[in-house]
A and B are shown apart, each in its own frame.
Chain A
Amino acid sequence: MPLIKDNAFVEDTFARVADDAALPEGAIIVSLKRFQAERDVLVPRNTPLGVRLSSDQSPEALGADVHHFALIELEFPKFKDGRGYSWARLLRQRLGYKGEVRATGDVLRDQWLFMSRVGIDSFEVRAGTRIEDFRAAMAEQTFFYQPASDGVRSVLDLRHSRPAPFALAAAQ
Chain B
Amino acid sequence: MYRYDEFDQKLVDERVAQFRGQVARRLSGELTEEEFKPLRLMNGLYLQLHAYMLRVAIPYGTLSSRQLKMLAHIARKYDKGYAHFTTRQNLQYNWPKLGDVPDILADLASVEMHAIQTSGNCIRNVTSDHFAGAAADEVDDPRVWSEIIRQWSTFHPEFSYLPRKFKIAVTAAPKDRAAIKVHDIGIVIRRDASAKLAFDVYVGGGQGRTPLVGHLIGEGIEAGDLLAYLEATMRVYNQYGRRDNLYKARIKILVHQIGANEMRCQVAAEFAEIKQHGALTLPQAEIDRINAYFLDPAFEKLPDEDLTAQRKNKAFAAWVETNVAKHKVPGYAIVTISLKPIGGIPGDASADQMDLVASLAERLSFDEIRVSHEQNLVLAHVRQRDLFELWQTLDKAGLGTANHALITDIIACPGLDYCDLANARSINIAQALSKRFADLDRQRNIGELKLKISGCINACGHHHVGHIGILGVDKKGVEYYQITLGGSGAEDASVGEILGPAFGEADVPDAIEKLVDTYLAARQPGERFLDTYRRVGIQPFREKLYAAH
Instruction: Write the residues of chain A forming the contact surface with B, with a CB cutoff of 8 angstroms.
Output: 58, 79-83, 85-86, 89, 93-94, 108, 110-111, 113-115, 117-118, 140-148, 154-156, 158-160, 162, 165, 168-169
Chain B interface: which size bin? 35 or more
Counting from the closest, the 8 A-B pairs by CB-CB distance are A82-B161, A165-B279, A117-B157, A114-B157, A147-B279, A155-B7, A85-B158, A145-B151
Interface locus among B14-22, B186-194, B429-437, B541-549: B14-22
A34 to B159, CA, bound (A): 30
Whether a CB of chain A sits under 8 angstroms from the CB of B80 is: no
Residues of B within 8 A of A154 (CB): 279
Residues of B within 8 A of A114 (CB): 155, 157-158, 160
Known contacts: A86-B239, A114-B157. The answer to whether A159 contacts B7 by CB under 8 A is yes
Contact with A along B147-164 (1 / 0, CB 8 A): 000011011111111110
Q: Across the interface, do A83 and B239 meet the contact criterion of CB distance under 8 Å?
A: yes
A127 to B135, CA, bound (A): 58
Whether a CB of chain A sits under 8 angstroms from the CB of B289 is: yes
Known contacts: A140-B14, A145-B154. The answer to whether A86 contacts B238 by CB under 8 A is yes
Interface locus among B280-288, B348-356, B362-370: B280-288
> Which of B10, B163, B283 is the one whose CB lies under 8 Å from A143?
B10
Q: Across the interface, do A108 and B35 meet the contact criterion of CB distance under 8 Å?
A: yes
Within the complex, the shortest CB–CB distance from A76 to chain B, in Å, comes to 9
Residues of A within 8 A of B17 (CB): 140
- Some 25 contacts from A to B, beta carbons below 8 A apart, are A79-B161, A80-B38, A82-B161, A83-B239, A86-B158, A86-B238, A93-B277, A108-B38, A111-B161, A113-B157, A114-B157, A114-B158, A118-B157, A142-B10, A142-B11, A143-B11, A144-B155, A145-B155, A148-B157, A155-B7, A155-B151, A160-B285, A165-B277, A168-B279, A169-B277
Residues of A within 8 A of B7 (CB): 143, 155, 158-159
Instruction: Write the residues of chain B forming the contact surface with A, with a CB cutoff of 8 angstroms.
Output: 5, 7-8, 10-11, 14-15, 17-18, 21-22, 35, 38-39, 121, 151-152, 154-163, 227, 235, 238-239, 243, 273, 277-280, 282-283, 285-286, 289
> Which of B8, B39, B239, B280 is the one whose CB lies under 8 Å from A147?
B280
Residues of A within 8 A of B154 (CB): 145
Within the complex, the shortest CB–CB distance from A145 to chain B, in Å, comes to 5
A2 to B348, CA, bound (A): 51
Residues of A within 8 A of B239 (CB): 58, 83, 86
Residues of B within 8 A of A143 (CB): 7, 10-11
Q: Across the interface, do B162 and A82 meet the contact criterion of CB distance under 8 Å?
A: yes
A147 to B228, CA, bound (A): 11
| Closest chain B residue to A155, Cβ basis | B7
Residues of B within 8 A of A165 (CB): 277-279
Residues of A within 8 A of B15 (CB): 141
Q: 18 additional contacts, CB 8 Å, given A79-B35, A82-B162, A89-B235? A: A80-B38, A82-B158, A82-B159, A86-B238, A114-B160, A140-B18, A142-B11, A143-B7, A144-B157, A145-B11, A145-B156, A146-B151, A155-B7, A155-B11, A155-B151, A165-B277, A165-B278, A169-B277
> Which of B39, B160, B286 is the one whose CB lies under 8 Å from A160?
B286
Residues of B within 8 A of A110 (CB): 18, 22, 39
Known contacts: A143-B7, A160-B285, A160-B286. The answer to whether A118 contacts B158 by CB under 8 A is yes
Residues of B within 8 A of A155 (CB): 7-8, 11, 151
Residues of A within 8 A of B14 (CB): 140-142
Within the complex, the shortest CB–CB distance from B28 to chain A, in Å, comes to 13
Residues of A within 8 A of B286 (CB): 156, 159-160
Q: Across the interface, do B161 and A159 meet the contact criterion of CB distance under 8 Å?
A: no
A68 to B17, CA, bound (A): 42
Residues of A within 8 A of B158 (CB): 82, 85-86, 89, 114, 118, 148
Q: Across the interface, do B279 and A83 meet the contact criterion of CB distance under 8 Å?
A: no
| Closest chain B residue to A162, Cβ basis | B283
Q: Across the interface, do A85 and B157 meet the contact criterion of CB distance under 8 Å?
A: yes
Residues of A within 8 A of B282 (CB): 156
Residues of B within 8 A of A147 (CB): 279-280
A159 to B38, CA, bound (A): 31
Residues of A within 8 A of B289 (CB): 159
Residues of A within 8 A of B21 (CB): 140
A89 to B156, CA, bound (A): 12
A158 to B408, CA, bound (A): 50
A156 to B15, CA, bound (A): 19
* A82, A147, A169 — most chain B CB neighbours (10 Å): A82
Within the complex, the shortest CB–CB distance from B230 to chain A, in Å, comes to 11
A89 to B121, CA, bound (A): 19
Within the complex, the shortest CB–CB distance from A150 to chain B, in Å, comes to 8
A86 to B5, CA, bound (A): 30
Within the complex, the shortest CB–CB distance from B257 to chain A, in Å, comes to 16
Residues of B within 8 A of A58 (CB): 239
A89 to B159, CA, bound (A): 11
A157 to B443, CA, bound (A): 54
A58 to B282, CA, bound (A): 28
Within the complex, the shortest CB–CB distance from B255 to chain A, in Å, comes to 18
Residues of A within 8 A of B279 (CB): 147, 154, 165, 168
Within the complex, the shortest CB–CB distance from B292 to chain A, in Å, comes to 13
Within the complex, the shortest CB–CB distance from A29 to chain B, in Å, comes to 23
A148 to B21, CA, bound (A): 26
* B239, B278, B280, B285 — most chain A CB neighbours (10 Å): B239
Residues of A within 8 A of B161 (CB): 79-82, 85, 111
